[in-house]
Structure 1
């Protein structure tokens, strides 16, 4: 299986796992590590994750909790991954409003969040976006009102701004804090 297929597989696995846990979850960041690398560096962890020694896959290792949803992009800007991390993925829920609603949003951030949460045309969306160090991307989107597995949207560029923010965590000229593994 090539890197794109491995990334698609891990993004879809993270999406299914998130769907089983339900809605209204905090953002979750994952380091993606080749299972052969993990087996070599952390054999006990590889065993705990039931990673087969015969198949090289991408293992998704959940990272420490991120800040509240509005500051996720800012938190990503502080992350720099060690070379052993092949990619990363983020699971994030957002409220999406219809076009034209932007002009009605209150200035105050707290009021704006409450207003959006009560908007009759709001749409709750769960996004799972993964990127590899080589630039490969994949994402999955699930709408709360269409909360069934066969209506999950998938593709490489569904959330380009978020994929760009994740890809920036691999840029060497952007020093930041290393994420824990």
Structure 2
């Protein structure tokens, strides 16, 4: 029998995190289809990489360390910065290239899943949220590795390989593609 916390953790591990990576892949497919390298180019591509890193950092922190006030603050700050860059990304791209229906749908997942994930992390770690709101940081500002890995011993290595293949490699390819065109451009 699973507890509510175990169900929430499993939902994060096996539904939300993979779905976030898949939405990023769909977004990359849309960028490739609209030839991002010849429209918004390296500027927008780098924004995509920054947003991925902004979510990956708190995600890996929560997978490796006990969630305390420090980890929760990093999650909140990273989420807020991600939202700012996401807004700048759309504002930059909207008049420079076509943003189609599939890309808009992918963006809706890429924007909402981190919000839901951070809320679920807060629910699972409600005493930490209470410490944050009451400014009780005693013993809460350090990195403490978790004893038992979430999802078992194999989850993190398998997820990292999945993330590298489906989430990171496409955006590295996009950055390289955009950089090649930028270096050929006479505007430099």
Question: Shorter-chain-normalised TM-score: which range?
Answer: under 0.3
**More helix as a share of residues:** 2
| Greater relative contact order, per chain length (Cα 8 Å cut-off, separation 6+) | 2
TM-score (norm 2): 0.23
**More strand as a share of residues:** 1
Structure label with greater radius of gyration: 2
